[in-house]
Amino acid sequence: MEKMFCFQCQEAAKGKGCTARGVCGKPPEVAGLQDLTLYLARGLALYCTEARRLNLDPAPSPEFIAESLFATITNASFSEGDFQERIKRAVQLREELKEKIVSSGLDYELPTHPAATWTPTGEEEYQDLISEVGVLRTENPDIRSLRELLTYGLKGMAAYLTHARVLGYDDPEISTFLEKALAETLDDSLSADDLTALVLRCGEVGAQTMALLDQANTSTYGHPEITSVNIGVGSRPGILISGHDLRDMEELLEQTSGTGIDVYTHSEMLPAHYYPAFKKYEHFQGNYGNSWWQQNKEFQSFNGPILMTTNCITPVKEGYRDRLFTTGVARYPDCEHIEAGPDGKKDFSPLIEKAKQCPPPTEIETGEIVGGFAHQQVLALADKVVEAVKSGAIRQFFVMAGCDGRMKSREYYNSFARQLPANTVILTAGCAKYRYNKLGLGDIGGIPRVLDAGQCNDSYSLVVIAQKLKEVMDLDDLNQLPISFNIAWYEQKAVIVLLALLALGIKNIKVGPTLPAFLSPGVTGVLQEKFGLQGITDVEQDLEYFLG
């Protein structure tokens, strides 16, 4: 008997799936509770769908569903207690929504699927159901593949929607689709064609969600600006913030102002430096380290406390366990969790007090890196960019957005960037950039050869840039642009980015370092036939493919 089965991330064991313990560090007990949480979220989504049909407000269930999907993303929550509470909360919300529907006096139809009716009397009953509700519950490999592809896209969408909601931005159309699509993964009558249509619709709504988050971020903190970010260290104690949540960034900077403590970003928090609203903080020191998978070494040498705001936690070492704090959906056993208060605000004083007891960070590198090339900034340079393309100074753009990871095969992206001709430009977003953003690749007529748009969700900026270039170059199709897509992926937020690109009609994308284990041969064949989606090969062959 397998202890678990999970193949949602790029590092699935043996390229097939983790069955004893997640490569990410997730124990089988947590994997099972995550499966059950997802199952009950699907059942709750059935109730939300019925409530919306009756024009009843399903709140707060939509927020709970999105946050629960977010919590099951790779490297987010490793806490059994977290998911046990989510399971209880799902049942509670379901019963409350059921009562609202029944008492409405409307002509309702209550869901009868077991996911919407199961009610445990104790936690000992969880295990019996867990064995029935995981990924392998679907026997047909193509239907399973499409259901999981849709589910992982919805997880990425839920993450971005949750970030937007934290800043006060929402879109009922997104929630309505997310709930309906999640519920549809329970429907055994749907064909492969039905599910394929849902997957593509997921990509469309995913692009809409990234646009919403872009609006939330830029309306709240201003449009990113071209910025040089220090990668050295100062002489004062520091707090390191990692993950993706900009509201946490803002609150931490506010609370540390005037305390004698510096704040540093790590991994996907690097783009916080590009936002005008954060530049007023003199103690916002710089960026420390590289992408998420190197955190064990870098968190040790940082010396001060670390705040994990979202996913991207690796198994925590004893050397810094007492200095690692989590917040939001991120949780790790025996690490202190910072909850929001009734007013929605968080108290980071435990980190501040801890920082005062710690030495300054140990320097691991020096210099600066440049970023802030989100859509508004690049569009301000549109005339210069188009002229460089027309003159031949820029031969081609390469979108190399996405995720970084531990596998040695990811050195491919470093080599690919190094071997690109000097008349090409890299457009990037996400932590994949750490493979090449410190290579010193130079510029073309003042345009840097690596244009960093920001976090993984800022891949939306790259689409906006492509659409604007299509317009000013008077082209009929995005695929006519001198832009090639060589995407790295690791987890589910990269899945929604890929689905968004496919929904926009972008073809001939290469994905690596491996194709997802959850793509069956049949589904892979359809994606290759309809969209030209391919896995990477080696640098030389792929350069010939893109440039030949």
**Same domain (yes/no): 388, 531:** yes
User: Which pLDDT does position 392 carry in this prediction?
Assistant: 94
Q: Print the domain residue range for 279.
A: 227-356
pLDDT tens-digit series, residues 487-507: 999 999 999 999 999 999 999
pLDDT tens-digit series, residues 380-406: 988 899 899 999 999 999 999 999 999
- 364 belongs to a structural domain: no
User: Strand pairing of 483-488 and 450-452?
Assistant: unpaired
pLDDT tens-digit series, residues 280-305: 999 999 999 999 999 999 999 999 99
**Same domain (yes/no): 317, 386:** no
Residue that finishes a domain, picked among 220, 253, 285: 220
Q: Which CATH number characterizes residue 524's domain?
A: 3.40.50.2030
Q: Which CATH number characterizes residue 66's domain?
A: 1.20.1270.20
User: Which pLDDT does position 145 carry in this prediction?
Assistant: 98
**Same domain (yes/no): 253, 200:** no
pLDDT tens-digit series, residues 69-86: 999 999 999 999 999 999
Residue that finishes a domain, picked among 201, 220, 239: 220
- 410 belongs to a structural domain: yes
**Same domain (yes/no): 248, 172:** no
User: Strand pairing of 447-448 and 443-444?
Assistant: antiparallel
- 4 belongs to a structural domain: no
**Same domain (yes/no): 472, 520:** yes
If pLDDT is split at 50, 70 and 90, which confidence band does 110 have?
A: very high
Classify the C-alpha dihedral 520-526-527-528 as positive or negative: positive
Over range 499-518, report the average pLDDT.
Answer: 96
Q: Is the pLDDT of residue 1 over 70?
A: no
Q: Is 258 exposed, middle or buried (0-12, 13-18, 19+ CB in 10 A)?
A: exposed
User: Which pLDDT does position 122 carry in this prediction?
Assistant: 80
Q: Residue for token digits 């593509």? A: 200
User: Which pLDDT does position 319 carry in this prediction?
Assistant: 96
Q: Is the pLDDT of residue 128 over 90?
A: no
**Same domain (yes/no): 177, 289:** no
User: Which pLDDT does position 131 carry in this prediction?
Assistant: 86
**Same domain (yes/no): 155, 238:** no
**Same domain (yes/no): 104, 167:** yes
Q: Is the pLDDT of residue 2 over 90?
A: no
**Same domain (yes/no): 383, 486:** yes
- Written as one letter, the residue type at 133 is V
Q: Is the pLDDT of residue 457 over 90?
A: no
Residue that finishes a domain, picked among 163, 198, 220: 220
**Same domain (yes/no): 54, 110:** yes
Over range 105-118, report the average pLDDT.
Answer: 97
**Same domain (yes/no): 236, 198:** no
Over range 86-99, report the average pLDDT.
Answer: 98
- 242 belongs to a structural domain: yes
Structural domains counted in the chain: 3
Mean pLDDT of the chain: 96
